[in-house]
Structure 1
Amino acid sequence: MCYNSASFDGQTLENFAKAKLNEMKDYPTTESVTDPKETVFNGISGYQFTIIGMGRHIITLLPHGQNRYFMVNNSSMDPTNQGYEKTVEKMLSTLKLI
């Protein structure tokens, strides 16, 4: 799991999510992508899309202050069903942006 926060330079978060998706889908390792969709993450409205390539990456973009975003890249997988995804879900459920 990775986190990042930066400015989206005066764009709407929706347009920034689309631009970020277009950037990531051009990576040589990207096999497929999903379009950004609206999501609510711990009570915060944002956008989410999935990239498949060298694993599965669920990208969530949330507004964080004025013209800033917080990005969560959830690349956790649990192919042998040992509870990793549930652990990550619990961790993410405690996330608060201040």
Structure 2
Amino acid sequence: MQGLGSISIEVPAVNFADIVGHNLVKNRLQQTIKLLNNPTLIKHHKVSLPRGLLLYGPPSTGKTLLAKAFANEADFPFISVSGTDLLDHNFVKDAICPS
């Protein structure tokens, strides 16, 4: 795991099979992975690849676990940032364009 301020980057070991419930969300995230792994389909629909994924909802509902499973199954790093950090212009600037 490495970090930049409050940003942490990791390669999670959890997958969707480890998560009980959230079947609709898991299904939609798996569909997103299929799209990301098939760039010709994305180009066919004339949309650009997403640069990130944001899950929202009440605390303690499994968003972070779902995001880690998504990152693992999509073979992406998991990057965690607190919501309050995203409100800090300097933090966002440093995160996007580190010196």
TM class, shorter-chain normalised?
A: 0.3 to 0.5
- TM-score, structure 2 length as denominator? 0.33
Q: Which has the larger share of strand?
A: 1
Flag the structure with more relative contact order, 1 or 2, with Cα contacts below 8 A and sequence separation at least 6.
2
Larger Rg: 2
Q: Which has the larger share of helix?
A: 2
